[in-house]
C-alpha cells in the first residue's frame, strides 16, 4: 500500500484553511443561535402605520440587537390582542383601547409601548353627506368590523348622539370591504382609522371624518402589546423590540419617510402596495403620535394622565369595569432610551 503525503508547507496551509473555515462556520452558527425569535402580529394588512416596523426589519436593526422577528399580517386589533393573550403570538401592534377592553375581561396582557398616543378611531363619511353629528346617523347604515378596534365602543359612540343600536343599521364588514361599501353607497358611514383610510378614497370620493376624540371619546391609539407570561420569559428581548420600533419611528419622522415606504413595499410585494397611498397615510399619522403630556417624551412612552382620561371614558362607556388604574394597562419599563436614540440616529 502506498501512502501519499502533502508537502509540509502545503499541508500546513490546508490545515490552516480548514481550521479557519471551521471557526467561521461555528462562529456564524453561534451568532444565528443567539438571535431570539419573536413572532409579531400586526393589527391589519400592511399600511402606513406599519412602515417603520418594516424599515427596522429591512435595515437589519432587529438583528443588530439580537432579534429574529417574523411579522404577520393581521385581521383587526381585537383579534391581535386575543391571539397574544392566548400565547399564539409573542407580541402585537394593536389599538390600546382594545387591550384595555380585553384586560378588563381577564386577558393577561399589557402595553409596553405607545405609538399613536392620540386616539385615531373615527367614522368616515362623504364630504357632501348630510351627516354632521352623531344624532344625524338615525336611520342610517354604518359599516364596522366586529374584530376591529371600534367594535367595543360602538354603543358609546352612538350614545354621544343620544342613539342606540336600534336607531341605526350596523353592518359587520370585513376590513377589506369597508372602502367599497362607502363608495357604492351601501353604507352612509364606515368606522375605522382616518389616517389609514382617508388616502384610500383619494381620486374616488372625497371623505371627511368624525373622530372619537372630537366627541369626547379620546382613547389611546396604536401600541405594542404583549402578555405577562412573555414579559417574564423574554423581557430583555421584548425591551429591544419595542425600543427598536420606537427608534425606527423617530428615524422615519425625521425626514426618512421615503425609506420607510420603500421598505414596506419591498417586504410585501404580493400586497401590491401603492407607495403614494402609504406616503399619504404616514403624513396623516403624524397628528396622532404626540399628546400634550407626551410631546416632550420619546415615541413609545405613555403617561398616567393620558391613561387616566382614557379610563374615565371607557368606564363611562361601560367597556371596562370601574376601579382600574393606568399601570394596569401599560409600563414604560421596557423602553431603552439608548437603543431608541441609536436607531433614530440611523445607519
Residues 6+ apart with CB under 8 A from 218: 118, 119, 212, 309, 310, 313
- List residues bridging with 40 in a β-sheet: 71, 91
Separation of CA 221 from chain center: 9
Whether 35 and 68 have beta carbons less than 8 Å apart is answered as yes
Write out 195-219 in H/E/C secondary structure: HHHHHHHCCCCCEEEEEHHHHCCCC
Q: In order of start, what are the domains of the chain with their CATH numbers?
A: 34-119+220-344 (3.40.190.10), 122-215 (3.40.190.10)
Cell readout for 128 is 357632501
**By C-alpha distance, which of 228, 203, 198 is closest to 331?**
228
Whether 19 and 46 have beta carbons less than 8 Å apart is answered as no
Of the CA atoms within 13 Å of residue 322, those in its CB half-sphere come to 1
Between strands 109-114 and 222-227, the pairing is antiparallel
Whether 298 and 246 have beta carbons less than 8 Å apart is answered as yes
pLDDT in tens, the chain (347 residues): 444 434 444 555 444 444 454 444 444 433 555 899 999 999 988 999 999 999 999 999 999 999 999 999 998 888 999 999 999 999 999 999 889 999 999 999 999 999 999 999 899 999 999 999 999 999 999 999 887 778 888 998 999 999 999 999 999 998 778 889 999 999 999 998 899 999 989 889 999 999 898 888 888 899 999 999 999 999 999 999 999 999 999 999 999 999 999 999 999 999 999 999 999 999 999 999 999 999 999 999 999 999 999 999 889 878 899 999 999 999 999 999 999 999 999 98
- For residue 152, what pLDDT is reported? 80
**By C-alpha distance, which of 301, 329, 302 is closest to 315?**
329
- For residue 25, what pLDDT is reported? 43
Gap between the Cα atoms of 243 and 266, Å rounded? 23
- For residue 33, what pLDDT is reported? 59
Whether 213 and 138 have beta carbons less than 8 Å apart is answered as no
Gap between the Cα atoms of 85 and 228, Å rounded? 9
Got the DSSP string for 73-85? --S-HHHHHHHHH
| Phi, psi for 96 (deg, rounded to 5) | -75, -15
Got the DSSP string for 72-136? E--S-HHHHHHHHHTTSSSEEEEEHHHHHHHHHTT--EEEEEES--S---EEEEETT-S--SGGG
Query: ∠136-192-44 over CA atoms, to 5°?
Result: 165
Amino acid at each position: 500500500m502506498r501512502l501519499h503525503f502533502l508537502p509540509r508547507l502545503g499541508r500546513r496551509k490546508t490545515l490552516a484553511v480548514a481550521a479557519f473555515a471551521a471557526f467561521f462556520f461555528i462562529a456564524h452558527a453561534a451568532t444565528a443561535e443567539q438571535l431570539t425569535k419573536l413572532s409579531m402580529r400586526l393589527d391589519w394588512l400592511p399600511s402606513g402605520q406599519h412602515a417603520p416596523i418594516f424599515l427596522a426589519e429591512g435595515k437589519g436593526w432587529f438583528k443588530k440587537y439580537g432579534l429574529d422577528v417574523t411579522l404577520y399580517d393581521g385581521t383587526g386589533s381585537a383579534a391581535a390582542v386575543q391571539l397574544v393573550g392566548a400565547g399564539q403570538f409573542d407580541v402585537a401592534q394593536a389599538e390600546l383601547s382594545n387591550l384595555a377592553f380585553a384586560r378588563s375581561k381577564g386577558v393577561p396582557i399589557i402595553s409596553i409601548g405607545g405609538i399613536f398616543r392620540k386616539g385615531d378611531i373615527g367614522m368616515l363619511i362623504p364630504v357632501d353627506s348630510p351627516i354632521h353629528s352623531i344624532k344625524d346617523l338615525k336611520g342610517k347604515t354604518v359599516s364596522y368590523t366586529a374584530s376591529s378596534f371600534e367594535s367595543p365602543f360602538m354603543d358609546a359612540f352612538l350614545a354621544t348622539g343620544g342613539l342606540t343600536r336600534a336607531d341605526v343599521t350596523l353592518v359587520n364588514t370585513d376590513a377589506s370591504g369597508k372602502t367599497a361599501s362607502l363608495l357604492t353607497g351601501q353604507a352612509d358611514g364606515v368606522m375605522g382609522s382616518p389616517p389609514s383610510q382617508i388616502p384610500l378614497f383619494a381620486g374616488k370620493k372625497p371623505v371627511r371624518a368624525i373622530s372619537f376624540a372630537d366627541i369626547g371619546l379620546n382613547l389611546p391609539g396604536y401600541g405594542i402589546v404583549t402578555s405577562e407570561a412573555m414579559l417574564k420569559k423574554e423581557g430583555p428581548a421584548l425591551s429591544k423590540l419595542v425600543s427598536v420600533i420606537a427608534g425606527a419611528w423617530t428615524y422615519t419622522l425625521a425626514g426618512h419617510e421615503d425609506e420607510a415606504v420603500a421598505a414596506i413595499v419591498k417586504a410585501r410585494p404580493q400586497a401590491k402596495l401603492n407607495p403614494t397611498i402609504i406616503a399619504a397615510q404616514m403624513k396623516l399619522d403624524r397628528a396622532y403620535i404626540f399628546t400634550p403630556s407626551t410631546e416632550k417624551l420619546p415615541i413609545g412612552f405613555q403617561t398616567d394622565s393620558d391613561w387616566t382620561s382614557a379610563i374615565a371614558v371607557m368606564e363611562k362607556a361601560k367597556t371596562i369595569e370601574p376601579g382600574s388604574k393606568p399601570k394596569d394597562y401599560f409600563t414604560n419599563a421596557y423602553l431603552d432610551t439608548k437603543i431608541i436614540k441609536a436607531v433614530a440616529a440611523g445607519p
